[in-house]
Amino acid sequence: MIAIPSAAKVWLAVGHTDMRRGMPGLALQVQEGLGRDPHAGDLFVFRGCRADMVKIIWHDGVGMSLYVKRLDRGRFVWPSPADGVVAISAAQLGYMLDGIDWRNPRHTWRPGLAG
C-alpha cells in the first residue's frame, strides 16, 4: 500500500491513457494536458482503455515514483467526462485500488449490538 501524505491531492486524468507511457510521458501529460505541476507532490492517476489497469505517478520530494495496478477481474470505476481532471480523496483512491466503487462505497455487513 502506498503511504499517501494527508496533504497530497489525488487527481484522476479522465478519459483513457496509453498505458505504454512511462514516467516521462505521463509527467509530460500532467504538464501539458492537465496543466498541473507533476513535481508538486500530488498523485496523478491514469486509466487504460480496457479499464483494468491504472498507473499512478507521484513525486515525493526526493524522486518520481510510478505505481501500476491491474485487476484480474472487473474494471476500475472512472468519471465520465471526456477530458480534464477530477480530484478525489486519498480514501477514495484506496477504495478504487481495491476494486470498490469509490463514488458510493457501501458496507456489506455491520455487526449488531452486543448483549
Q: Has residue 75 been placed in a domain?
A: yes
Task: Work out how many domains the chain is built from and give that number.
Answer: 1
Q: Model confidence over 44-59: pLDDT tens digits? A: 999 989 989 999 999 9
Q: Has residue 1 been placed in a domain?
A: no
Q: Has residue 21 been placed in a domain?
A: yes
SS3 25: helix
What pLDDT band is residue 26 in, cutting at 50, 70 and 90? very high
| Sign of the CA dihedral with 36 first, then 29, 95, and 69 last | negative
Q: Which of 67, 70, 53 is nearest to 17 (CA)?
A: 53
Q: Has residue 106 been placed in a domain?
A: no
What pLDDT band is residue 33 in, cutting at 50, 70 and 90? confident
Q: Model confidence over 90-113: pLDDT tens digits? A: 888 888 888 888 777 665 555 666
In angstroms, rounded to a whole number, what is the distance separating the alpha carbons of residues 3 and 96?
15
| Sign of the CA dihedral with 41 first, then 11, 97, and 50 last | negative
Q: Has residue 68 been placed in a domain?
A: yes
Whole-number pLDDT of residue 105: 67
Q: Which three cell numbers stand for residue 25?
A: 510521458
In angstroms, rounded to a whole number, what is the distance separating the alpha carbons of residues 63 and 72?
30
Whole-number pLDDT of residue 101: 80
Q: Are 52 and 75 in contact (CB under 8 A)?
A: yes
- Residue 58 burial (CB < 10 Å; 0-12/13-18/19+)? buried
Reply yes or no on whether the pLDDT at 79 is more than 90. Answer: no
**Domain that residue 37 falls in:** 10-97
Q: Has residue 110 been placed in a domain?
A: no
